[in-house]
A and B are shown apart, each in its own frame.
Chain A
Amino acid sequence: MPSRRAFLAGLTSASLTPTLSWADVGSPVALSAAMTPSGAYVLVGLTATGDITFQIPLPARGHAAAAHPHVAEAVAIARRPGTFAKVIDCGTGDVKQTLTSPNGRHFYGHAAFSSDGLLLFTPENDIATGAGRIGVWDRSASYKRVGDVPSGGIGPHEILRLPNGTLAVANGGIRTHPDTGRDKLNLDTMQPNLTILAPDVTQIDTAHVPQDTHQNSLRHIAAAPDSTVICGFQWQGDPYDPPPLVALYKGNGTLLPAQMDDTALFGLDGYIGSVSAFGDGHYAASSPRGNLAFSFDQNGQQTGAHKATDVCGLCAAPDGTCLVTDGLGRVHTLTEDTLQHRTTHKLAFDNHLVALTT
């Protein structure tokens, strides 16, 4: 997508402006938003053992930040249905820039950078039509808005860069309107899907949620090194009669449902908070309402279920385990069949851990 000129401009500006790498800010493996005991909001960097490498203020409660692949810079997106995003220097804590969604648009969730770090992609709602869009911003030109493309559905909540260079979009299917906050306007007709975009953001595959469970909203996604995508759902029907709330995507327009115990699904309120791949073919999902962290094998067979109050944040750690955070400030390590408490901070960790690919 970036022209040769834009690419070169990016290199030039990068060389002129001294910027810190992730190693310069303590080599965190993940970012998380959090709330302090005084009620202030912060963005923190975490090591694989749960130590905090940096802690910088956020102007408001964050949802999840997009982490630049090389430079210690994050873009914190406002919570739905917000219209601003803050570009934050994770070395100094300075807000370098505020991005505003174009007129008639609002941001919808998790953004992502391209693998070269030149472009930022933001899931958006086109308010008038309800169509999901992906905004494209050129970092090298001070985050100039350079275009937008269809997200492939309604209510895109997350866009994710995959190791194979493509992008995955979780289209949740639920139409909302800023006038009615998070009210769900189309539960009878919603049709969620996972859309795969080529690096030039053209659509190359779509995996639909089956029609008989069309109220299973795809919300969160994470990628394994082989570009398998784990999908976490939020079921809009009877919470005591949910379909599988976790699925794997390995291509060919198909979502492969994970196998979870009926009794495991019983107390989750139909709600998965975060998902992650970790290690060699392992997957994880969290249920903050069921206070459970699950692990799965490469086929999506549940291998563990572990109790942790208000657990939500998950991401792969370099040692092959999964880093886990909760609303009580605890950091844990999840493996195929264990959950081990590492440390506790005086913070309430917010929904998501964002893995840093340094």
Chain B
Amino acid sequence: MRLALAALCLSTLPAVADVQRTLDTHILPGHAALVEETTKLTEAAQADCTPEALRPAFHDAYDAWISISHIQFGPIEDQALPLAISFWPDPKDSTGKALARLTAATDPIVDDAEAFSDVSAAAQGFTALERMLYDNQPDADYACRLTQAIATGLAQKSGSIQADWPAFATLMTTAGDDGNTRFQTPIEAKRALYTSLSTGLEFLHDQRLGRPLGTFDRPRPRRAEARRSERSLQHIQLQLEALEALATTMTDTDLTATKAAFAEARTRANALDDPALQGVADPAERFKVEVLQQSVRAIQVAVIDEIGTPLGITAGFNALDGD
């Protein structure tokens, strides 16, 4: 009987254990770090809202966000907050327009934290805060209030997401239990993690690298994410680190090829001396960014082979059909 019980545990526990471990070592600490850094950010903004003073806290908080930004399901999705934390890609310059509207009107909504959460999402997140700290602001007094409103809002949003995670984590670890309508089978919780991994890699390849690369004939350096604060490459490095952490914690299968592919991509990224990816317009420098992008593609392939296929997860029967 004890043997049978042990065998049962062996066959059922790992699936839950992987999810539990991913929550405990990756998702929950990532959100705690985001709360910590955005709290420091808002305190710093209250103490001194000038760009020079606030930039260090801005960088730390933005780092914390990028390191957990691949987790797009759960509380952040339920509260519809992704765009209000970071509005990118933004080809229509919604951020610039939304900030210009507020500034032109000297809109007092910035003094009311609750009301400010109703302004355009494009004016609320890190992408907006970067503009405030790196673009010229003609009206220093209003810019200060707007900066403080964005910082306060980021701390509130981060706290609100973190507050809902414990309950959501329980839904994930009890996937398939009676009454759990969110995750009706154990594999659905794993699928959510796998989707974060595969979508994160796709975003890295197609957007964070693909947008500035454009085409050889038409490179688009101004499309690099967070180029004003010269964080473009750092976002890529942080996301590689975070996605590798997710990949290695969410499964116990052999990840030889995945780890090798991550190592190769990290080496390529670290070799780039181009923080805002502006070299994409220079044929010699561009080549290095293209090679980095190819190494991300190699990670995507390895992840499908070593994680997706063994789990029996094929992403998007319909999403991938393309017809």
Q: What residues of chain A have their CB less than 8 Å away from a CB belonging to chain B? A: 35, 63, 79-80, 109, 157, 182, 219, 238, 240-241, 262-263, 266, 271, 273, 288-289, 291, 307, 309-312, 326-327, 341, 344, 348-351
Q: B319 and A351: CB pair below 8 A?
A: no
Give Cα distance in the complex from A288 to B181, angstroms.
21
Q: Which residue of A lies closest to B77 (CB)?
A: A307
Which residues from chain A contact B138 at a C-beta distance below 8 Å?
Answer: none
Complex contacts, B94 vs chain A, CB 8 Å: 262
- Residues on A with C-beta less than 8 A from B318 are 273, 288, 310-312, 326-327, 349-351
Within 8 A of A (CB), among B92-110: 92, 94
Taking the closest CB of chain A, its distance from the CB of B261, in whole angstroms, is 24
User: In the complex, what's the smallest C-beta–C-beta distance from B87 to chain A, in angstroms?
Assistant: 9
Closest B residue to A286 by beta carbon equals: B318
Instruction: Tell which of B89, B94, B323 has the most Cβ of chain A within 10 Å.
Output: B323
Q: List 21 A-B contacts (CB under 8 A).
A: A63-B323, A79-B323, A182-B323, A238-B91, A240-B89, A240-B90, A240-B91, A241-B91, A241-B92, A288-B316, A288-B321, A291-B319, A307-B77, A309-B191, A311-B318, A312-B318, A326-B318, A327-B319, A350-B318, A350-B321, A351-B323
List of A residues within 8 angstroms of B317 by Cβ: 35, 310, 327, 348-350
- Considering the chains assembled together, what is the distance between the CA atoms of A309 and B315 in angstroms? 10
Contact of A289 among B91, B92, B121, B316 (CB under 8 A): B316
Quick check: B316 and A310 within 8 Å, CB to CB? yes
CA A262 to CA B319, docked complex, whole Å: 21
Cα–Cα distance between A271 and B320 once the two chains are bound (Å): 11
B263 within 8 A of A: no
Residues of chain A lying within 8 A (CB to CB) of residue B90 = 240
Distance of A9 Cα from B318 Cα, bound (Å): 41
Question: Is B179 part of the contact surface with A, judged by Cβ < 8 Å?
Answer: no
Residues from chain B with Cβ under 8 Å of A289 in the complex = 316, 319
> Does A310 contact B319, Cβ atoms closer than 8 Å?
yes
Q: Which residue of A lies closest to B312 (CB)?
A: A37
Interface of B is mostly: loop
Q: Does B83 contact A (CB under 8 A)?
A: yes
State A186–B307 Cα separation when bound (angstroms).
Answer: 37
Bound-state Cα–Cα, A349 to B317, Å: 8
Q: Does B184 count as interface, using CB distance less than 8 angstroms?
A: yes
Whether the Cβ atoms of A288 and B91 lie closer than 8 Å is no
Q: Is A109 in contact with B323, judged by CB distance below 8 angstroms?
A: yes
- Which residues of B, 281-323, contact A by the 8 Å Cβ criterion? 316-319, 321-323
Q: Which residues of B contact A63 (CB under 8 A)?
A: 323
Residues of A contacting B92 with CB < 8 Å? 241
Alpha-carbon separation in the docked complex, A79 to B323 (Å): 9
Given contacts A182-B323, A240-B89, A240-B91, 5 further A-B contacts (CB under 8 A): A288-B319, A289-B316, A291-B319, A344-B184, A350-B317
- Give every chain B residue within 8 A of A238 (Cβ-Cβ): 89, 91
B residues near A326, Cβ cutoff 8 Å: 318
Chain A positions within 8 Å of B91 at CB level: 238, 240-241
